[in-house]
Amino acid sequence: VVEASGALGDLLEQLRASEGSGVRTAGVDPLPHQLAVLERAFQRWPRGHLYADEVGLGKTIEVGLTIREAHVRGWAERTLLLVPA
């Protein structure tokens, strides 16, 4: 289990404790940088987001957590993903 500190740690604990949290029920423990991406996405919600960084840093997990949390919270009914071939 990865632990985050400060504001990210507080957000992670809040999401883990929340009964209806998509993060809590996702079956993964997000790394601190993945949690930071999730937090930024929800601070700017409902704007679109581009997830791009180095290979192997967990973009799939970041996107999955964002989509799952948005659907669980009732903020999204459908999701459109645009990905390169």
Q: Which pLDDT band holds residue 15 (cuts at 50, 70, 90)?
A: low
pLDDT at site 43: 82
Predicted TM-score of the model (pTM)? 0.69
pLDDT, one tens digit per residue, over 42-84 is: 888 888 888 887 888 888 888 888 888 888 888 888 888 888 8
- The yes-or-no verdict on residue 29 having pLDDT over 70 is yes
CA distance 85 to 67: 21
2 and 29 Cβ atoms separated by less than 8 Å:
yes
Contacts of 76 (CB under 8 A, 6+ apart): 46, 67, 70
